[in-house]
A and B are shown apart, each in its own frame.
Chain A
Amino acid sequence: MPPPFDLLPPLLDGARVTLVLTAGGIAVAGPAALTGGLARLSRRRWLRAASLVYVDLFRGTSALVQLFWAYFALPLLGIRLGAMTVGILVLGLNIGAYGAEVVRGAVRAVPQVQREAGRALGFSDRQILWRVVLPQALPAMLPPLGNLSIELLKSTALVSLITLADLTFQGQALRAATLRSTEIFALVLLLYFLTAQTMSWGMRRLESRVGRWRAVAR
């Protein structure tokens, strides 16, 4: 069997789409997780309710069902979005819902006295959140959020089912054209694996960076 280098260019084209989806998804998921997680802890009842609906709706249904609904059913209600937009929004909001639970847990774990100390020093609510609570919650959030970003990478494979030419889609197209299933899917799996490993390496570096001030402070 010759080395399957001829398969690489189309697969790498697909990998580019996969990376764009992952990056776009993270750009949606991050703010969604932060907003959703903080809203769940809000004093305002309607904010808590809205966050609960968001989290339960996206965590309670399947990511693929959400993609199909947004791509096939939503246009019937008059909202037409491109496949790429649907992919980034749905996958981002889906992972963001899981991230909201992470943010909520980490923020709740910051001792109440930290908030009281901030208030005693005359910090505004906003300053307490951004300067006192979040910096302390961040090191606890990062490892699970890193895992979620890898889940996001893996979930981008689903967009191949709504016609986007990502890595999985290209693998399928190549298989149909060449029937070299074993080589193609082994390569596709390998490319996902390497991407995931690179991402988790990056996350570990980020974690040690973010946690550095703690070592100094103690």
Chain B
Amino acid sequence: MAGGGKVTFDWAYTLDILPALLNALVVTIQATLAGMALALILGLLWAVLRRSPQPAVRLPAAGLVAFIRSTPLLVQIYFLFFVLPGAGVVLSPFLTGVIALGLHYSAYTAEVYRAGIEAVPKGQWEAARALNLSPGHTWRAVILPQALPPVIPALGNYLVAMFKDSPLLAAITVTELLQTAKLIGAETFRYLEPLTLVGILFLIISLLASRLVHHLERRYGTV
């Protein structure tokens, strides 16, 4: 079988390995949701910092976002995985991966938030100032409630994108979907069924999720 010519798809074997892959899918989904939570928070932080009147705040935030966006996620994952322990920060591979995903995608969510914030009419800022609201109060009570709903669909697209990038965590031994498929393949010398199943699982979930995002777009509109 191994090393030979053609192999046919083995359905019994496929059923055998399905439970292990579904378990790994849970890890994939956990990593994605945790990473997205981080990306939502950090992205908002970058977006708000980028609107600061202080250049010393605004410019580093803009530079960081540009740098994260134009370097590969995989290298960022390696950077965190191999450099943080040297700085005394020892995290599990899973947590490192979640931070890398969250940090990487925060650069994208920051742009999304920015579009939403810029779409809030200038008069809203002026009105808040006329009412003598503090900057914090203005953001919380006036700007964000108007800026956030229209960007929900765009954020949803990045959730799907992050889900599809989560297999990169396999590179630092997180036993998510792809890593599990690799381990099964290495054990049995059959990569066809596990990898095909992984592809199908990704396809099903991202198509469903994209459908959901499309639904959100109709409900909230787009920026």
Q: Is B74 an interface residue (CB 8 A)?
A: yes
- A61 vs B67: C-alpha distance in the bound complex, in angstroms? 26
Stretch at the interface among B19-27, B117-125, B137-145, B200-208: B200-208
Q: Is B214 an interface residue (CB 8 A)?
A: no
Are B202 and A168 neighbours in the complex by a CB distance under 8 Å? no
Q: Report which B residues bind A (CB closer than 8 A).
A: 5-7, 67, 70-76, 78-79, 82-83, 86, 164-168, 170-171, 178, 181-182, 185, 190-192, 195-196, 198-199, 202-203, 206-207, 210
What 0/1 readout, one digit per residue, does chain A (69-97) give for beta carbons within 8 Å of chain B? 10011001110000000000000000000
- A171 vs B77: C-alpha distance in the bound complex, in angstroms? 13
Q: Is A137 an interface residue (CB 8 A)?
A: no
By secondary structure, the A interface counts as helix
Q: Is A157 an interface residue (CB 8 A)?
A: yes
Return chain B residues, CB-CB under 8 Å to A154.
70-73
Are A72 and B165 neighbours in the complex by a CB distance under 8 Å? no
- A172 vs B171: C-alpha distance in the bound complex, in angstroms? 11
Question: Of B71, B206, B210, which is within 8 A of A61 by CB?
Answer: B206
Are B76 and A60 neighbours in the complex by a CB distance under 8 Å? no
What 0/1 readout, one digit per residue, does chain A (95-139) give for beta carbons within 8 Å of chain B? 000000000000000000000000000000000000000000000
Given contacts A171-B75, A181-B83, contact A158 B164 (CB under 8 A): no
Give the contacts of A168-200 with B (CB-CB under 8 A). Answer: 168, 171-172, 175, 181-182, 185-186, 188-189, 192-193, 196-197, 200
Return chain B residues, CB-CB under 8 Å to A77.
6-7, 192
Give the residue name and chain of the B residue nearest to A190 (CB): B71
- A181 vs B81: C-alpha distance in the bound complex, in angstroms? 10
- A168 vs B172: C-alpha distance in the bound complex, in angstroms? 14
Are A61 and B195 neighbours in the complex by a CB distance under 8 Å? no
Q: Report which A residues bind B (CB closer than 8 A).
A: 56-57, 59-66, 68-69, 72-73, 76-78, 150, 153-158, 160-161, 168, 171-172, 175, 181-182, 185-186, 188-189, 192-193, 196-197, 200
Are B71 and A68 neighbours in the complex by a CB distance under 8 Å? no
Are B165 and A62 neighbours in the complex by a CB distance under 8 Å? yes
Return chain A residues, CB-CB under 8 Å to B178.
62, 64-65, 68
Given contacts A61-B206, A78-B6, contact A168 B79 (CB under 8 A): no
Question: Of A175, A192, A197, which is within 8 A of B82 by CB?
Answer: A175
Give the residue name and chain of the B residue nearest to A200 (CB): B70
Give the residue name and chain of the B residue nearest to A176 (CB): B82
